[in-house]
Structure 1
Amino acid sequence: MGKRAAIVGAGVSGLAAVRCCLEEGMEPVCFERSNDVGGLWKFSDHTEEGRASIYQSVFTNSSKEMMCFPDFPYPDDFPNYMHHSKLQEYIKSFAQRKDLLRYIQFETLVSSIKKCSSFLATGQWVVVTEKDGKQDSSLFDAVMICSGHHVYPNMPTDSFPGLEHFQGKCLHSRDYKNPGDFQGKRILVIGLGNSASDIAVELSRLATQVIISTRSGSWVMSRVWNDGYPWDMVYVTRFASFLRNVLPSFVSDWLYVKKMNTWFKHENYGLMPLNGPLRKEPVFNDELPARILCGTVTVKPSITKFTETSAVFEDGTVFDAIDCVIFATGYGYAYPFLDDSIIKSRNNEVTLYKDTCTLPATNEMMDDIDEKMGKKLKWFGQSHTLQTDYISYMDELSSFIGAKPNIPWLFLTDPQLALEVFFGPCSPYQFRLMGPGKWDGARNAILTQWKRTVKPTRTRAVGVAQRPTHLYDFLRMLFFPVILLAVLFTFYY
């Protein structure tokens, strides 16, 4: 082994980091404060200090083909969207099959990470850990922070006048685990992210009334998209990314809004975002529109004030006799074991070069950060500056090491694979086709990904299994200029 790397957290990112270190000849030491791998996906029926928390009913919003480790496909009979227990099963299987567990120190807390006294000469870090009441200090050549950023809840209590007088129960969505204690209650959910929507929908089946208060609204998407396929396998493609990047912004924005409103008209459900074209992360919930349509969930604007028993909304309406307020108001970025000089947060913007590393000169890094930050603020909004465009980001990083798929070369040498890579889902296998870490099974994994997608749904075989056709996408690309001209004509005439 060569240089030593400390890895904080044994979740999905931590395990990937351990694996990559081994591939590059580094010695990884992973510190995990719990007693198992999984990170966010290791469910506990109670919240644990310093760890992300999920509720019992959580399912993934990304499909199995789009969120797998790049050389470890999910079993073909696994559902496309998984309950957290199924995902945890896969994560543990990966750690065991790749022999990663021996590099993990469980029930070990990282309390401090600092530059060593000779950092300018050695580039080394001092990592202080605690286990069984004892502290230990070790030197490492590199440190990878893989502990996530859904740990420290944002409770904006100061933003709600009168909340200090409210007599009902208040909790953050982080503390929500199951609906059992809310039977017959009147519930106010503040926020409209994935957690807020999931919790509101779940509680609406047994609570007396559930109201969602949202300041800015949100697009709501179904996991089920075109022809019933998983949304990300249809939407997250190189072809779609190419169109989004070459189209004028006003056309791209118009198409985005039109697509978001295909399922239902958001303005009719009180969900229309204030900034419609903003690429803020949509809410993925297959039931929310139906619950609103059935009257079991109601959407209201921002809250102007609380009284002892009620909330007053911006439109003047009042929600009386509230039993519980659930703040689904997100999380703050906090890494208490790191000095502020290592990761700086500017107006809740985490300023990281390429979102990870610190290699070039400071002015060059900041120029790159500011350029990317401008795009992120435009696409995702102020509160999502760690979010990034998946394909652009992965291509940028993989091009540094020679792992970015060479599309023109593939069209010349392997047209069948090239069509799937360009028009099909940009699944993780693509980044194991060439370069360091090349996996011999990547081509087959890409060409068989649709079979694994329909396997768990075709439990009653009727007719021949269908899948998206590249011919349709190719024709759509050829005729797109005609469609664009028609759109422009409609706008201006």
Structure 2
Amino acid sequence: MKSVAVIGAGCCGLTAIKCCLDEGLEPVCFERGNYISGLWHYTEEVEEGQACVMKSTVINTSKEMMCYSDFPIPADFPIYMHHQQVDRYFHMYADKFGLRKYINFNTEVNVINNINHEGIFQVYLSTRSGSWIVNRVAEKGLPWDMVQSTCFNTKLLTTFPNMITSRTEKKLDQKIDHEKYCLKPKHGLFSARQTMNDELPNRIITGGVIVKANVAEFTETGAIFEDGTTIDNLDAVVLATGYNFGFEFIDKSVIEVKANKVNLYKYMFPPNLQKHTMAIIGCFQALGATMPLSEMQCRLATRVFKGLKTMPESSKMWKDIKSKQAAMGMRYKQSLRHTIQVDYVPYMDELAEMVGCKPNTGKLVLTDPKLSMEVFFGPCTPYQYRLMGPGPWKGARNAIMTQWERTYEPLQTRPCAKTERKSSGAFYMMIVAVIAVLLYFIL
């Protein structure tokens, strides 16, 4: 049996272990801490070299969109979970599939050689370029990501990018006039990561947060901004300037990061290795949930390790890498932040095609029309990628058909009179099915 080293027991490491087991590989996980969940394990004390969430952190992706594809998050968990529930979910996942016994805790990997609290404060928010503000709660109180992350919306955006971008920006401005709130950026909605925040507009309109220009310099007790205004007697400065990433324990001849850029095929595989025995999991910045994408990466990597999937030759890998980097440069504004960007649905589909588990919507229209409607027009939840191909899960269809029930369950805390809705009948379903087929093959 082949052994696979997994470094870290966070959200990516856990699913890496599980995917190895699914493919009959032997995972050996090294975790430098004495706990799982990575940065989602909150600690009061700062641990050197280890990031963690804040005490108040609530995840920005809804539970049905962020769960692993064969393990739904409990229905009674909130739609957007506090970090304690995210951590608890990871523990449940580890327990369900018996992952802990493969983890070597308090074991740090140093080198990989060449392998040929609430208070009242005045807050000044300095922003260099502004940002589009997206709320977790969309129209009718639905989770934003479940409304937006659909195969249908992805097809529309790909086919009519300017129209969809303009329309979506106008909808966001109807909620918050970004210009009046001094938040409007120069770049378009999809040319940088949006800011997911429900509280910021409320804080601005009540005076708790004052938006300022970029900081020109700091004085001994305050700051001078690029528009010439100054603030004095600041109590603290929080630098929310992002991250530089790297792999200090891996030989630079294998992977080298320069200016936050790294050359990895499908954001996973070093292209110059003679044998593809290494994969980097989670080295991407997703416009969507990280967990399902990491899981899909692991499903692909383990099939490569086992010899069930053959990688293309090095020149074709480099062509794909350069093509993605060029497209990213055309779309995103110049920034160290926008070097490993991926869109949720397209990237899931790209990896799923390689694994062989991408849903065949055309086939589903003929064999299971009701399911096909959910797959194409509904939220692109991870369960879709367990319907067919390698690693199918017999609970996938039911998970898809009941995903909205689990979404609403934590909201059902008092009895309400329900409005009866008349069924549209089989004829309506047939019309929708025909439209879905046409859209799928035309767009």
Shorter-chain-normalised TM-score: which range?
0.7 to 0.9
Rounded Cα–Cα distance in structure 1 between residues aligned with 2:106 and 2:61: 29
Give the CA deviation at 1:282: 1.3
Alignment TM-score, normalising by the size of structure 1: 0.75
Maintained 8 Å contact 1:373/1:385: yes
Q: Say whether residues 1:457 and 2:411 are aligned partners.
A: yes
Aligned to 2:147: 234
2:132·2:189 contact (CA, 8 Å) conserved in 1? no
**Residue 277 of structure 1: aligned partner:** 189
Alpha-carbon deviations, 1:211-249, whole Å to 9, x = none?
0000011111111002101101101000100100111x4
Instruction: Indicate the percent of aligned positions where both proteins have the same amino acid.
Output: 46
Q: 1:21 to 1:275 in 2, by over 3 A?
A: same
Instruction: Determine the C-alpha separation between the residues in 2 that align with 1:263 and 1:46.
Output: 38
Indicate whether 1:362 and 2:274 are aligned. Answer: no
Q: Is 1:45 matched up with 2:44? A: yes
- What's the CA shift for 1:257? 1.9
Contact residue 114 and residue 253 of structure 2 kept, 8 A: no
Give secondary structure in 1 for the equivalent of 2:224: strand
- Counterpart secondary structure, 2:152: helix
In structure 2, the residue matched to 1:68 is 67
Match in the other structure for 1:102: 101
Q: What is the total number of aligned residue pairs between the two structures?
A: 389
- Structure 2 counterpart of 1:349: 261
SS at match of 1:312: strand
Structure 2 Cα separation of the partners of residues 47 and 361 of structure 1: 45
- The answer as to whether partners of 1:270 and 1:299 remain within 8 angstroms in 2 is yes
Determine the structure 2 residue equivalent to 1:212. 125
Please name the residue that 1:294 is paired with: 206
The equivalent residue for 1:417 is 371
Letter of the aligned partner of 1:44 in structure 2? T
RMSD, aligned α-carbons = 2.3
Query: Which structure has greater strand proportion?
Result: 1
Cα pair 2:59 2:83 within 8 Å, conserved: yes
Aligned partners of 2:219 and 2:49: how far apart in 1?
Answer: 33
Contact in 2 for aligned 1:333/1:348 (Cα 8 Å): yes
CA contact 2:4–2:26 (8 Å) conserved in 1: yes
Q: Unpaired runs of 5+ in structure 1?
A: 120-177, 180-204, 482-493
Higher relative contact order (CA 8 A, sep 6+): 2
Whole-angstrom CA distance in 2 between matches of 1:306 and 1:392: 43
Q: For residues 82 and 254 of structure 1, do their structure 2 counterparts lie closer, same or farther at Cα, with a shift above 3 Å needed?
A: same
**CA distance change for structure 1 residues 466 and 31 in 2, over 3 Å: closer, same or farther?**
farther
Amino acid at match of 2:398: N
**CA pair 288-465 structure 1, distance change in 2 beyond 3 A:** farther
Q: Residue by residue, what CA displacement relative to the aligned partner does 1:459-490 show, whole Å, maximum 9, x if unpaired?
A: 113133899x9979969x89xx9xxxxxxxxx
* Residue correspondence of structure 1 range 59-138 to structure 2 within 5 A: 59-116=58-115, 119=116
**Preserved contact between residue 30 and residue 105 of structure 1 (Cα < 8 Å):** yes
Q: Deviations over 1:33-86 (max 9, x none)?
A: 111110111111122223222110000000000000111111111101111111
The TM-score, its normalising length taken from structure 2, stands at 0.83
Q: CA deviation at 1:444?
A: 0.1
Q: What residue ranges of structure 2 are gaps of 5+ in the alignment?
A: 272-310
Aligned positions of 1:397-408 closer than 5 A: 397-408=351-362
Partner Cα separation in structure 2 for residue 239 and residue 261 of structure 1: 23
